[in-house]
């Protein structure tokens, strides 16, 4: 018999790079999956992604465009789907910061800390 292989387990490990923030109330958004337009609600958001409540089906791996007024559309990928929720991952960029801030605009302490973090990264 050959040597035993170690099995990596990610159970219980938070693989997220950015902190998630639950949003206050329902924040409507629009998700484009190809030519299909789906209305959705942002449940939580981070600088790298968002959890959306959505009525339609979106397959994991699908390339999507997410829009939450007043920010511009943000390209991303569906990284998981379960029940009536999906997870969308987008790369860290100026638009992802704008998106997170627009979703959290009613929560001044969180929005301010995100903005301060962004300006610290830009200067240092």
In this structure, the strands spanning 36-45 and 49-54 are: antiparallel
Instruction: For the chain, give the percent of residues with pLDDT over 90.
Output: 34
Residue whose C-alpha is closest to residue 49's, from 99, 84, 115, 117: 99
Say how many C-beta atoms besides its own lie within 10 A of residue 40's C-beta. 25
For the chain, domains (ranges, CATH) are: 21-117 (2.40.10.220)
Question: What is the pTM assigned to this prediction?
Answer: 0.69
The token duo for 43 is: 């449940």
Is 25 exposed, middle or buried, given 0-12, 13-18 or 19+ CB atoms closer than 10 A?
A: exposed
Name the pLDDT band for 114 (thresholds 50, 70, 90): low
Chain centroid to Cα 81, Å, comes to: 13
Return d(Cα 15, Cα 38) in angstroms, integer. 28
Residue whose C-alpha is closest to residue 87's, from 35, 13, 24, 15: 15
- Condensed to tens digits (0 to 9), the pLDDT of residues 31-70 reads 999 999 999 999 988 888 899 999 889 999 999 999 887 6
């Amino acid at each position: 018999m050959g040597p035993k292989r170690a099995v990596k387990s990610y159970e219980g490990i938070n693989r997220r790079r950015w902190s998630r923030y639950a949003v206050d109330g329902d924040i409507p958004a629009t998700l484009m999956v190809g030519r299909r337009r789906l209305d959705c609600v942002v449940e939580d958001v981070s600088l790298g992604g968002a959890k959306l409540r959505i009525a339609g089906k979106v397959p994991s791996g699908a390339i999507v465009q997410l829009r939450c007024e007043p920010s511009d559309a943000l390209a991303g990928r569906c990284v998981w789907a379960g029940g009536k929720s999906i997870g969308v991952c987008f790369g860290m960029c100026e638009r992802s910061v704008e998106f997170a801030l627009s979703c959290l605009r009613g929560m001044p302490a969180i929005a301010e800390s995100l903005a301060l973090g962004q300006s610290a990264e830009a200067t240092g």
